[in-house]
Chains A and B, each alone.
Chain A
Amino acid sequence: MPDAVSLLIAAFGFGLVSMSVIALAAVGFTMQFGITNMINLAYGEVMITSAFVAYYLNRMGISIWIAMLAGAVFGAAFSFLINRFIYTPFQRKNTGLLGMVIVSLAVSLMIANIMLPIVGYFSVSYRERFSRLLRVGDLALTVNQITIMVLAVVVMLAVHALLRYTRLGKAMRATAANPTLARNCGVKTQRVIDIVWLITGALCGLAGVVAALDADSFTISSGAVFLITALAAAVLGGAGQPYGAMIGAVVIGLVTELSAAVWSPDYKQVVAFAILVLVMVLRPQGLLARRGALAAAG
């Protein structure tokens, strides 16, 4: 088979891995915005901090797959606390959306700079960074990568089930659509928002560990890189739309890898973000706006 075709097939496989990692991060990010109306730019730093929590457990001999759960728990608790002690007081003072974005940016910088002397400048890796390479024709994926893809599918299905088939999901959708009306209908919106921060924080922590495992090595500065792709997928899919974020992740994950194979790696991010800009021009509300799970209580 010609090299170009073989590279294209391999890139498709890598695209599936990338989109799984991005989806995990983007769904949590977009749910946070959809339900709490908060564009949380500290999301990337919570991801990388959770990745480091898992790293220290991993270094103590705990399997990364168990440490991943600890990362998710940490992400949940950390996000909850950030919201309770930093974001909520500002929101109570009626700080506008733009003001809250600046606050979250400040939180992001604070976390990064507090973490820097603790974790250091040097790159680290999980012990399980290597796993068996499985080949099917030109498609070559490691056991870790396949596990990440399965994990992403399971989490996406769980998010779908949560939003569609549970009372909590219904309350979340009601809060997202109209918090005042939801409150008047007896939905305890503050409790819903607290739970949303816990759930999306757990997704954030999980995504951080997965992204760090996928990247082989990571530093505290990796948080910013993680945030950019999650943000892009969330915006592409329609801000606040979990299903939109999933579609955004598919587009960005596949396009970046395939364009690197077809064209040049130099332009893979250019292509992905060009598509994002195009969508924003043609459909500013994103791919799934007003049609996603959080669009209306149903």
Chain B
Amino acid sequence: MTKMRWPRFLAVPAVALVLAACGTGNNATGGGLGSGDLLVGVLAPFSGADANLGPAYYAACLAAAPEINNNGGVGGRHVTCQKFDTRGEPADAAPAANQMIASNSNLMAVVGCTSDEASAVAKIVDKAHIPMFCMTGQSEFNKTKLPYFHRLVPADIFDAYAMVGWIIYGPSHPTWNKVALVFGDDIGSQAFVTPATNALKHFGKTVQNFPIHLGASSFRTEVQGMLNFKPDVILTEALGSAGTYLGEVKVQNGGQTIPFIGTSATIDPAWFADVKSTIGVNDVVQYYRGVDLGYTFSGTAYDEFKANLQTASSTFADASKYGQRGSTLHLYDGIVMTALAMVATNSKDPTVYNPKIKEIANGTSGATDVHTYKEGLDALHAGKSIRYVGAAGVNNFDQYNNSQSGYILVKYDAQGNEVQLATLTPDQTKKLSDAGGI
């Protein structure tokens, strides 16, 4: 019997094929990274009442793209960014999401999806198996079953507790006993009200809710009704309407601004500009207090982010204004982590690299901390497992793909930069959430 033999000249390409299939990093078992540009879809409001939200996310993508592309891309593939305008309306968001998916087979991730449209688009994007990083605090995502959904910001209820924390534990303010809650009358905005009310009442405060219809051209009667309550402090967010509302508060209160505490979403250059334009920068500095996630705005990852944001200014002139916008930092990290997950799995298939995102974010035992895309690539090429600690700091996704860290108490300086005044301790945060009862 003749023994069948492999020709020797086939050995070299065969070995090469095996090596290529193995990729360069650990766990590199995917089917290759493919070719051509990759796309990050920025699915967010770029027009309508919340038009100021989309640019913050677009800036994140424009900063992440050079971070990845200048270091060889994702297996040589360049990352590009495209805006998909939801107009802040679910009715417009669903077709925008469908159109984005149908016309782009190279989507690597989707960022944006605010509370305006997350309910409408998250299932669509999830069904298409595209990893998404959403900027929504809606409670319906607290225990979401959507595997491709990721949230790098806390649920709204934690923002509500942190604002109450300002009143109870915040430094250098008189005792505030009467608290007015001024949020939009939509379901998403009103999510702040019940936890804040419960917690405030638990701590013996008098509280009243004064909902407003966001986007209205004036709030005179609403403001007068609120002033009749004689509040010591106002808790608010009122994206897109805060300037008008607080301007009318100042006018009707005889030129005197009432102290006001904003959610983490109010740490935003557009919000700052809006309120500054009506009550004046001095009043913003003196009377505004806010809560934010505990960013350090320093370190290797942040410096790299800032430099990339500067690069992005050539495409989007306002990009550099988002250097201290939490969502911009988080989404930048989200995109970089996705790119690293693709490299780590050597796969362009989201069903393969999606689970890796969480692993890279949280890290596994013995993982090497990396702070930039290049550091991540180098570590992966060296066969190490990695934990990405990015511009926004450490991530810790739970089983529902929700990642959150502690809160800081902040104010603005006259240039619109965030100034940290204190930190809420884990013990204080627990007391607040226990008091809120949700």
Alpha-carbon separation in the docked complex, A120 to B277 (Å): 14
Name 12 interchain pairs, CB-CB below 8 A, sorted by A. Answer: A7-B228, A18-B218, A123-B243, A130-B251, A133-B254, A215-B218, A216-B218, A217-B274, A217-B278, A219-B240, A221-B49, A260-B222
The yes or no answer to B90 lying at the interface (CB within 8 A) is no
Q: Identify which of A211, A215, A229, A264 gathers the most chain B CB atoms within 10 Å of its CB.
A: A215
Instruction: Output the least CB separation between B274 and chain A (Å).
Output: 4
* In contact, A123 and B220 (Cβ under 8 angstroms): no
Please name the residue on chain A nearest to B215 by beta carbon. A225
* In contact, B218 and A269 (Cβ under 8 angstroms): no
* In contact, A257 and B254 (Cβ under 8 angstroms): no
Contact pattern, B 209-228, Cβ under 8 Å of A = 1, otherwise 0: 01111011111111011001
Alpha-carbon separation in the docked complex, A112 to B185 (Å): 26
Instruction: Output the least CB separation between A162 and chain B (Å).
Output: 27
Alpha-carbon separation in the docked complex, A279 to B254 (Å): 39
Q: Please give me the 10 A-B residue pairs with the lowest Cβ-Cβ distance, nearest first.
A: A217-B243, A216-B247, A123-B274, A14-B220, A125-B277, A260-B221, A122-B273, A265-B222, A11-B221, A215-B217
* In contact, A7 and B224 (Cβ under 8 angstroms): yes
* In contact, B252 and A133 (Cβ under 8 angstroms): yes
Other-chain contact of B224, A11, A112, A214, A264 (Cβ < 8 Å): A11
| Chain A interface (Cβ < 8 Å from any Cβ of B) | 3, 6-7, 10-11, 14, 17-18, 21, 112-113, 116, 120-125, 129-130, 133, 140, 142, 211, 214-217, 219-222, 224-226, 229, 257, 260-261, 264-266, 268-269
Which B residues are in CB contact (< 8 Å) with A229? 217
* In contact, B318 and A120 (Cβ under 8 angstroms): yes
Q: Given the interface contacts A121-B51, A129-B247, does A265 sit within 8 Å of B213 by beta carbon?
A: yes
Sample of 18 more A-B contacts, CB < 8 Å, known A133-B255, A266-B185, A268-B213: A6-B228, A17-B220, A113-B47, A121-B55, A123-B273, A123-B277, A133-B251, A216-B248, A217-B243, A217-B247, A221-B48, A225-B216, A229-B217, A257-B220, A257-B221, A261-B224, A266-B213, A268-B221
The yes or no answer to B385 lying at the interface (CB within 8 A) is no
Instruction: Output the least CB separation between B262 and chain A (Å).
Output: 15
Which A residues are in CB contact (< 8 Å) with B55? 121
* In contact, B247 and A14 (Cβ under 8 angstroms): no
The yes or no answer to B270 lying at the interface (CB within 8 A) is yes
* In contact, B221 and A10 (Cβ under 8 angstroms): yes
Which A residues are in CB contact (< 8 Å) with B185? 265-266
Which B residues are in CB contact (< 8 Å) with A266? 185, 211, 213
Alpha-carbon separation in the docked complex, A172 to B278 (Å): 41
Which A residues are in CB contact (< 8 Å) with B250? 130
Question: From residue 312 to 351 of chain B, which have CB atoms closer than 8 A to chain A?
Answer: 318
The yes or no answer to B266 lying at the interface (CB within 8 A) is no
Instruction: Output the least CB separation between B231 and chain A (Å).
Output: 14
Question: From residue 173 to 189 of chain B, which have CB atoms closer than 8 A to chain A?
Answer: 185
Please name the residue on chain B nearest to A144 by beta carbon. B251
* In contact, A269 and B213 (Cβ under 8 angstroms): yes
Which A residues are in CB contact (< 8 Å) with B318? 120-121
Please name the residue on chain A nearest to B269 by beta carbon. A122
Contact pattern, B 231-252, Cβ under 8 Å of A = 1, otherwise 0: 0000000001001100110111
The yes or no answer to B29 lying at the interface (CB within 8 A) is no
Which A residues are in CB contact (< 8 Å) with B270? 121-123
* In contact, A214 and B218 (Cβ under 8 angstroms): yes
Alpha-carbon separation in the docked complex, A102 to B216 (Å): 25
Instruction: Output the least CB separation between A24 and chain B (Å).
Output: 13
Please name the residue on chain B nearest to A220 by beta carbon. B51
* In contact, A125 and B221 (Cβ under 8 angstroms): no
The yes or no answer to B52 lying at the interface (CB within 8 A) is yes
* In contact, B278 and A222 (Cβ under 8 angstroms): no
Which A residues are in CB contact (< 8 Å) with B213? 265-266, 268-269
* In contact, A265 and B218 (Cβ under 8 angstroms): no
Question: From residue 250 to 306 of chain B, which have CB atoms closer than 8 A to chain A?
Answer: 250-252, 254-255, 269-270, 273-274, 277-278
Alpha-carbon separation in the docked complex, A229 to B216 (Å): 10
Q: Identify which of B210, B250, B274 gathers the most chain A CB atoms within 10 Å of its CB.
A: B274
Alpha-carbon separation in the docked complex, A142 to B47 (Å): 32
* In contact, B228 and A3 (Cβ under 8 angstroms): yes
Which A residues are in CB contact (< 8 Å) with B224? 7, 10-11, 14, 140, 261
Alpha-carbon separation in the docked complex, A121 to B250 (Å): 24
Question: From residue 88 to 102 of chain B, which have CB atoms closer than 8 A to chain A?
Answer: none
Q: Identify which of A10, A11, A257 gathers the most chain B CB atoms within 10 Å of its CB.
A: A10
Q: Identify which of A140, A217, A257 gathers the most chain B CB atoms within 10 Å of its CB.
A: A217
Alpha-carbon separation in the docked complex, A21 to B225 (Å): 22
Instruction: Output the least CB separation between A271 and chain B (Å).
Output: 12
* In contact, A140 and B252 (Cβ under 8 angstroms): yes
Which A residues are in CB contact (< 8 Å) with B252? 133, 140
Which B residues are in CB contact (< 8 Å) with A264? 211
* In contact, A265 and B217 (Cβ under 8 angstroms): no
Alpha-carbon separation in the docked complex, A264 to B222 (Å): 9
Alpha-carbon separation in the docked complex, A125 to B279 (Å): 10
Instruction: Output the least CB separation between A253 and chain B (Å).
Output: 10
Alpha-carbon separation in the docked complex, A219 to B218 (Å): 14
Alpha-carbon separation in the docked complex, A298 to B254 (Å): 51
Which A residues are in CB contact (< 8 Å) with B48? 221, 224
Alpha-carbon separation in the docked complex, A219 to B243 (Å): 11
Which A residues are in CB contact (< 8 Å) with B225? 7, 260-261, 265
Please name the residue on chain B nearest to A13 by beta carbon. B220
Contact pattern, B 42-81, Cβ under 8 Å of A = 1, otherwise 0: 0000011101100100000000000000000000000000
Please name the residue on chain A nearest to B248 by beta carbon. A216
Which B residues are in CB contact (< 8 Å) with A121? 51-52, 55, 270, 318
Instruction: Output the least CB separation between A217 and chain B (Å).
Output: 4
* In contact, B49 and A226 (Cβ under 8 angstroms): no
Alpha-carbon separation in the docked complex, A224 to B87 (Å): 12
Which A residues are in CB contact (< 8 Å) with B273? 122-124
Instruction: Output the least CB separation between B284 and chain A (Å).
Output: 13
